[in-house]
Amino acid sequence: MTVSRRKDPPVRSSRARGWSKRLARQLARYTLEKKAYDVLILDLRGLTDVTDFFVLCSADSDTQVKAIVDHIDEKMRKRNLRPWHVEGYENLRWVLLDFIDVVVHVFLRETREYYSLETLWGDAKTEVVDDQS
């Protein structure tokens, strides 16, 4: 995986209404394809201007974290979309993929429990995503 580190973030998207929510759901499904669990989408619209959605998921090993992140990267590149920024890929405990409108967080279980982003962003509307969604 190529880690991009651009200096200035692009301007937030002005794409069609609902695009970022559809993207968040698609990214969440990609995590499930590699057996991620506890997949959540946090709707941050109205809470921050940084992004519209967080996708959070957990994995049991650094190998699984890598597999999830690489799978997302591969699927998105096929759609001609690349993350603006990737962080944590070297350590594989918490990898962040920033697609501007949606930020994906792939955690080792214990790292997710420690940082508890769900609690930090407790005011966000939460959508549980599973194989039945």
Q: How far apart are CA 106 and CA 132, in angstroms?
A: 20
Contact 97, 4 (CB under 8 A): no
Q: Give the C-alpha separation, 29 to 92, whole Å.
A: 20
pLDDT digit string, tens, across residues 43-89: 999 999 999 999 999 999 999 999 999 999 999 999 999 999 999 99
Domain ranges of the chain: 19-129
Give the count of beta carbons closer than 10 Å to the beta carbon of residue 49.
Answer: 9
What is this structure's pTM?
0.87
CA distances from 33 to 1, 80, 106, 129 (A): 18, 20, 13, 12
**Mean pLDDT of the region 4-19:** 56
pLDDT digits (tens, 9 = 90+) for 86-127: 999 999 999 999 999 999 999 999 999 999 999 999 999 999
19-129 CATH: 3.30.460.10
Average pLDDT over the chain reads: 90
